[in-house]
Amino acid sequence: MNWLTDPEIWISLITLTVMEIVLGIDNIVFISILTGKLPEDQQDKARKTGIGLAMITRILLLLSINWVMRLKGSLFNIATMLGLQNQTLVEKLDISGRDLILIIGGLFLIYKSTSEIHEKLEGDEHDEKNTKAQSFANVITQILILDIVFSLDSVITAVGMANHVGVMIAAVVCAVGIMMFASGGVSRFVNNHPTVKMLALSFLLLIGVSLIAEGFEHGIPKGYIYFAMAFSILVEMLNLRAKKATKKH
């Protein structure tokens, strides 16, 4: 029980919890958009199931941390496969298991974001047809795919910030509890404001590109991405407030 009086462990727990929440925001947005396609009576259940699966995925990855870290080892080299001799290209095009998961996840996220944006631009009739075609199992499957990608990045980051698996798991559980509590409000807000939903889809598109770049060892610093997202949200909030003020007048 010495950990209860160890300030370093408590600092690690708080830091990791905040980090998990920040890294989980894009996951909540993605889940909100997907569950918005389901009948209203299924949306809350699908949202909680998706977030619960994210927690289970993260915990399982933390418990198999040795296997996760081995994913950083080389699987194949694209330059060598193409017969290229340039040493710089050989180093840059070396693909690990982690890289492969990030690239596939990034492509999937770009595909889903682009499809959703296309649906919104096509209009309500096209959107209604696609909403009817969605099933609960289909939505949960898509959420699970992205949960794995987001969880992998989150777990590898967590390993670099803390030494105790128990602390990491506690941080994940705390973060998921907060996300579960906030997900309903976030989901309603995103789905009730078309411009916010389009902005959220643009964020997911950006994150998809970021995952692919990271898979090819050209990662975009997350600080830049989060700053761009925060600034865009601020501008959108001002737009919503201005629109509300105009209607009132």
Q: Write the DSSP assignment of 142-157 as a string of letters.
A: HHHHHHHHHHHHHHHH
d(C-alpha 86, C-alpha 99), whole Å: 21
Q: Which two tokens stand for residue 181?
A: 């509590």
Q: Which two tokens stand for residue 14?
A: 């708080």
d(C-alpha 45, C-alpha 27), whole Å: 16
- Per DSSP, the chain holds a count of helices (H) and strands (E) of 11, 2
Token look-up 């710089």 returns 88
- On the question of pLDDT at 232 being above 70, the answer is yes
Structure confidence at residue 90 (pLDDT): 56
- On the question of pLDDT at 131 being above 60, the answer is no
Q: Which two tokens stand for residue 237?
A: 């909030």
Q: Of 13-22, 38-47, 62-71, 157-166, which one has max mean pLDDT?
A: 38-47
Q: State whether residue 37 is helix, strand or coil.
A: coil
d(C-alpha 104, C-alpha 76), whole Å: 15
Mean pLDDT of the 172-177 span: 84
* Burial tier of 230 (Cβ tally within 10 Å: 0-12, 13-18, 19+): exposed
pTM for the model stands at 0.68
How confident is residue 18, by pLDDT bands cut at 50, 70 and 90? confident
